[in-house]
Every structure is written in structure tokens, then in C-alpha cells.
Amino acid sequence: MTTLETPREALQRRPNFDPRLLDIADKVRDGVRLSFEDGMTLYETPDIWTLGGMAHEVRMRMHGEIAYYNVNRHINYSNVCALSCTFCAFYRKKDQEGAYEFSIEQIKEEAIKAASGGATELHIVGGLHPWLPFDYYTDMMLAIREVAPQLHIKAFTAVEIVHLARISKRGKDGVEGYRAVLSELKEAGLGSLPGGGAEVFDDRVHDEAFKGKIKAFQWLDVHRAAHELGLNTNATMLYGHVESRAERIGHMLILREQQDATLRDWAADQGIALQQATKHDGDQGDAVVLYGNDDAYPNERLPMPEHAGGNGYYQTIIPLPFFPDKSELEHLPAPTGLENLRTLAISRLMLDNFPHVKAFWIMQSLEMAQVMLQNGADDIDGTVVWYDITKLISSDEDDPTHQEVGVFELQKAIRDAGFEPVERDTLYRKVVRQSDEPTDWRVLD
């Protein structure tokens, strides 16, 4: 009689298996929240295969064979910025060569091009422009609504929202001001917030790499205010510069705790049992874990706009590898491919209450994004078209911001990686294309 191997025994048989991962693998299998120390072990282990395997297991439980992409267009409306972050090669000062700002007319043209090309989303961010008035931003939303009402507008990082609260005098640096600005932008057409500007939530890192920028608590307050207003948001982590691995795990834990608070009522409604977990300050708190063994969780375990009770939440974490080129931190080496893969996999495992993990192909390369789909990611972002913040793939020397791949290339990359490509809208609802006409699409109910 043959006895079946237990999952533990199977792991231990793997070549170069790191025994420190045994208990973590048990937790992952049972949907038990990982601790700070677990996160550090995952960063230290040489056993990248078991790490990737665990992240893949979780990703398969949450999304099965599906890998998402979207048809979108990025607009960086201005690179003029009052800040001078040392990691950033995008910003220019007002009269510096290369400084630009789009007029509302130009933005309208971009929106029309995007909509007629079949995009479902505009992703709009820019620098902290010292002189553009608040009306410019609401007019931008209204103008897009007018010419392309079907486009979802995902716009403005928390850093821009704090700036707008200041210049519009809607309230000084507090939550009241953020709420007022977000409500007015929402009224004008804003649909969600992208995840940029989070960098790494740590005062030391802040002072060394982006002093002058908003602090972690302000970034988090803006996203909390957005969620309260029913706007979904994303979160990023810009890693591989002056931060330590421990600081990256700290960043993930802060996001995870905020999402716990955001999803607590939704989880109770869904019958998802809360776990007792130790928070980053050492206190005990309720944890909402979205992956685990099937018996303990309802089928529809992922929050979606239609059943989140009118509240917004974090949809996706996007780990962003640092690009040193042309920044003040150019002397630093960029994170390696392996470090990128590791950080992606750890994000999937630590951020157990984030429905999605995005491998932003523009910054990771499409080839690396394929590997990431097998190591925790379920989304590779979209067709993008123009991207001015970092430049990796453009082959057009005269126009390096042109970084576009077609839908077929994205779908092929996903299929070749072993997944079923599914087009999503910004809120992760499936998009159905009804004919070859690019504008003929609808969101599946």
C-alpha cells in the first residue's frame, strides 16, 4: 500500500529546500496571516523557488487561470513640479528645458484618441505644478466627461491631492481638505485614484530620498478619505533605492492594516471570519485574510464595487522597481531581476487582503511580467501608449515616452505564460468586446 505524501513532505523533498519555510508554507496553505518576521525570512531565503511557489499557490486560489490586462492610456499632464525628489528623473522646474504642461484642449484630444482607439481608462498623473489653479483639474475631468463619457478616469496620486487641497484652500493639510477636493473631483468625473507617490512609508527613507514630499500618514489619509467617498484606489511601493528590506515589509504591513479596517464590515457581511493578528505596533487587531482554504471562505471572496457597500478599498498593490537613470541617485544600482521577483512574490504573500497584485510591464518588461504572473501577479496593466516617468522599452529614440504594446501582444504574453487573458476595466470588472469596432465594448454585469 502506498501512503500519500503530505504537502510538508513534498516540500522537504525539493532540492535546496530551506527548512525555515516549512512553517510559513503551513500558514500560507491554511490562510493564516504572515508576520513581520515571516516577511523577513522570505526576503532572506535563498530558496526563491519555494517562495515563488507559495505566491503562485495563493494567486491561483484567488484568480485561477485568469490574468488581467486593460486597454488604457496614460497622460502625464505636466512634468513641472515644486518638489525635487532625488529618485525622480521626471520632474522639471518651470523654465527648465523640457518642462511642459498640457492645455485642456490637448487633454481633450488625448481623451478622444484614447476612446476611439478602444481604451476603457485614462490614467492621469503629473507633477505638483506651482501655478495651475484648482479649476484646471476639475475642468480637465469635465472636459474628458464631455468628449469621452465612457472612459474611466483614474487620476491624481495622493501627493497631488494634498497639493490641490493646499492651492484650492479647501482646508489646510487635513483630511477635511482632502475630502473636499476629492468630492469636487469625483463630482466632475474622477473615478478612482492610482497608487503612486507612496514610495516607502518610513521617515528615514522619506528624509533621505523625498524630503519635502507628503509624509506616510498624509498619503494614507488621502486614500482613507477616497475609500470613504466610495472611490477605489491602488497602492505602490517604490523599492530598491535607499530603503532596507525591513522598511519594505513595514510599508506592506501599514497598507495591510489600513485595508483590514476598510474591509472589516464587508468581511462580516460575507461571512469571512476575522483573524486575530499582531499589528506592526505590537497590538492585537482583527485581520481580514482573503486567501485560505476553500471551506473557510465564501466563493466570492474578493471585494468588488457592487458588493462593497458603497465603500472604496485598495484593489491592487504595484511594486515599482527603482530606475536610477538620470535621477540624483544615479550612482545606485537598480534592483536585480531576482530582487524584483522576490519583492513581487512577498507582496502577494504579505498583502493577504489585497485582491490584486500588478506587475506593471512598462517598468518590469513584458518578459519579466510573464514570469511574475507565475510568481504571484494576476495583472500586467494595459496598453499604456505614452509613459513619461520611467523609460525602459521604447525603441523610438525621437520619442522615448512612446511605450506601447497592442492588445494582441499583451494577450499573447499572457497566454505564453500559461494563463487566460481577461480584459478588465479599472475596477476589475470583465470587459466584453462585442465587435471589431474599438468603441463597441461593455462591462459584464
Based on the shown chain and the rule CB under 6 A, indicate whether residue 128 belongs to the binding site for ligand V47.
no
Residue whose CB is less far from ligand V47, 62 or 363:
363
Q: Is 155 in the site for ligand V47 (CB under 6 A)?
A: no
The dihedral built from the CA positions of residue 82, 84, 90 and 92, taken in this order, carries a sign that is positive
34 belongs to the binding site for ligand V47 (CB under 6 A): no
The reply on whether position 318 binds ligand V47 by CB under 6 A is: yes
Q: Which is nearer to ligand V47, 91 or 441 (CB)?
A: 91
| Torsion on CA atoms 64, 65, 67, 71, rounded to nearest 10 | -110
Indicate whether 75 belongs to the interface with ligand V47 (CB under 6 A).
no
Report, in Å, the least distance between residue 227 CB and ligand V47: 15
Please tell me whether residue 91 binds ligand V47 under the rule CB under 6 A. no
Taking CB under 6 A as the binding criterion, the range among 56-64, 172-180, 195-203, 305-313 that sits at the site for ligand V47 is 195-203
Binding status of residue 89 toward ligand V47 by CB under 6 A: yes
402-377-48 Cα angle (round to 5): 115
Q: Which of 118, 127, 194, 292 binds ligand V47 (CB under 6 A)?
A: 194
State how far the Cα of 283 lies from the Cα of 253, in Å rounded to an integer.
Answer: 13
The nearest distance, CB 153 to ligand V47, in angstroms, is: 13
Instruction: Output 138 or 157, the one with its CB closest to ligand V47.
Output: 157
State yes or no: residue 76 binds ligand V47 (CB under 6 A): no
Among 69, 136, 201, 323, binds ligand V47 (CB under 6 A): 323
Long-range contacts of 336-342 (CB under 8 A, 24+ apart): 337/368, 338/48, 339/240, 340/240, 340/364, 340/368, 340/372, 341/48, 341/52, 341/368, 341/371, 341/372, 341/375, 342/42, 342/43, 342/48, 342/51
Q: Distance between CA 9 and CA 20 in Å, rounded? A: 14
| Cβ distance to ligand V47 smaller for residue 360 or 441 | 360
Looking at residues 348 to 407 of the shown chain, list those that interact with ligand V47 (rule: CB under 6 A).
Answer: 360, 381, 389-390
- C-alpha cell at position 7: 504537502
Site string for ligand V47, 199-228 (x = CB under 6 A): x-----------------------------
Helix, strand, or coil (residue 54): helix
Smallest gap from Cβ 329 to ligand V47, in A, equals 8
Nearest to 351 by CA among 324, 379, 323, 377: 377
Residue closest to ligand V47 (Cβ): 196
Q: Tell me whether residue 228 is exposed, middle or buried, using C-beta atoms within 10 angstroms of its C-beta: 0 to 12, 13 to 18, 19 or more.
A: middle
Amino acid identity at 65 = E
Residue 285 Cβ vs ligand V47, minimum distance, rounded to whole Å: 26
Q: Which residues pair with 384 in a beta bridge?
A: 404
Cβ neighbours of 343 (radius 10 Å): 23
Contacting residue, 177, 195, 305, 312, with ligand V47 by CB under 6 A: 195
Which residues face 403 on adjacent strands? 385
Distance (Å, whole) CA 182 – CA 158: 10
What is d(CA 84, CA 91) in angstroms, rounded to the nearest whole number?
A: 7
| Contact status, residue 374 vs residue 113, Cβ threshold 8 Å | no
Site for ligand V47 in 235-254 (CB under 6 A): 236, 238
Q: Are 352 and 317 in contact (CB under 8 A)?
A: no
Q: Rg of the chain's alpha carbons, rounded to an integer? A: 21
Size of the site for ligand V47 (CB under 6 A): 22
3: left (phi over 0), alpha (psi -120 to 50) or beta: beta
Shortest gap between Cβ of 287 and ligand V47 (angstroms)? 24
Q: State the minimum distance, in angstroms, from the CB of residue 284 to ligand V47.
A: 31
CB of 50 vs ligand V47, minimal distance in Å: 28
* Residue 192 or 353 with smaller CB distance to ligand V47: 192
Which helix (H) or strand (E) element contains residue 76? strand 72-76
Q: Does 197 bind ligand V47 (CB under 6 A)?
A: yes
Per CB under 6 A, 31 contacts ligand V47: no
Query: Which residues here bind ligand V47, judged by CB under 6 A?
Result: 87-90, 157, 194-197, 199, 234, 236, 238, 318, 320, 322-323, 327, 360, 381, 389-390
